[in-house]
Homo-oligomer: A and B are copies of this chain.
Amino acid sequence: MVQLSISRRLRGTPYTARLEAAGVKAYTVYNHMLLPTVTESVEEDCAHLKQHVQVWDVSCERQIEIRGPDADKLVQLMTPRDLSKAQIDQCFYIPVVDERGGMLNDPVAIKLADDRFWISIADSDVMLWAKGLAYGFRFEVEIDEPDVNILAVQGPKADELMARVFGEQVHTIRFFRGLWLYFEGQSIYVARSGYSKQGGFEIYLEDRALAEPLWDALFAEGADLNVRPGGPNLIERIESGLLSYGNDMTRENTPFECGLGKFCDVETSIGCVGRDALMRYVIDGPMRMIRGLMIEGERVPGCREPWQLTADGGEFAGQITSAVWSPDFQNNVAIGMVERDYWRAGNTLWVDTPDGQRRAVVHDLPFSA
């Protein structure tokens, strides 16, 4: 790892001071904002996440608010997922694609009211896409980035901790649903969601003044639960098959290649951007697909650029884009885009790592023991 030069452009969050007082060791940059990546070490953080509960500063999951009479029209234009039956306070994982069907983002959309949505974005400036479309279509909408700063509470003890801070109502929240709950007299949107498979919640804090009180309450109430600061964990997210926009998929990929075909209702007559381009995938399927892979041998170095996959005969078979040593699997787990001829589970390929060529075996995602 190298040092990060921090400036205002790499925005801090209302939790940064608490996080740095707690000794955060590394950041990445996400949506022009600091995202903590390491508390103790990636491996220790992973083990802790699977046993206890962590509080993550994921303020970098910026919200793009779209409101106004044409809000629903614009949000539907932005995704091939059919949102016509969307209910208020429901969350939707929506692929956002360009005119060629290339992924621009894979956000979660929340319908807050019939004329008001939050799009909780991955790492690209979706606001500019939404504003460009709205301007071109003369939609009656307002689009901005409200000062919403999400804390994720993740891990098997998340329900217990959240109930202590927000009350027993948290248990009633179903997966990908949300409720407005109270903290210090203010109403805050809380959803059962998050970028791990260990269970948990995301707290959409709107009032910056409550950021440190909320952080402090979670740590005070969670002391006996062994609560710790954390962040999206590379090992856990690869094991769980959680994709990362910019890592595992880019504008080069369609949702079908990313395993998100089930969120593409292109056959129903919805007028989204990219519909025509995506149509052929409904018939032919994709030519490559996101797959899990296990890479044999010693622990691999960090995957900083795609590692090419080849078949025994030397044919191009795809690329690996995320890889890490998994203590639980005692193997290197990886995510990659594998060509159609080679994507069957159990297939053995070669991968060019910076340490030399290794054997890699195709697996289904998520990895299972």
Contacts and interface: CB of A to CB of B under 8 A. Distances in A.
Interface string A170-202: 000000000000000000000000000000000
Contacts of A10: 28-29
Interface in A287-325: 302-306, 321-322
B8 A27 contact: no
The count of identical subunits is 2
Nearest to A231: B5
Contacts of A125: 124-125, 128-129
A32 B246 contact: yes
A144 B241 CA distance: 29
A321 B28 contact: no
A126 B128 contact: yes
A358 interface: no
B132 A37 contact: no
A112 interface: no
B5 A27 contact: yes
Interface in A114-152: 123-126, 128-137
Contacts of A245: 9
B38 A3 contact: yes
- Centre residue among A7, A25, A306 by max chain B CB count within 10 A: A7
Contacts of A136: 132-137
Interface in A190-223: none
Chain A's interface size range is: 35 or more
Nearest to A28: B5
Contact of A304 (B7, B98, B306): B7
A49 interface: no
A99 interface: yes
Nearest to A34: B2
Interface string A212-245: 0000000000000000000000100000000011
Given A128-B128, A133-B132, A135-B132, A6 B1 contact: yes
Given A29-B29, A129-B131, A131-B98, A5 B9 contact: no
- Centre residue among A2, A104, A125, A245 by max chain B CB count within 10 A: A2
A26 B5 contact: yes
Interface in A6-31: 6-12, 24-29
A39 interface: no
A249 to B, nearest CB: 10
A8 B98 contact: no
Contacts of A304: 6-8, 12
A132 B135 CA distance: 8
A7 B135 contact: no
Given A7-B302, A9-B246, 6 more contacts: A7-B234, A32-B124, A32-B246, A99-B135, A125-B125, A130-B132
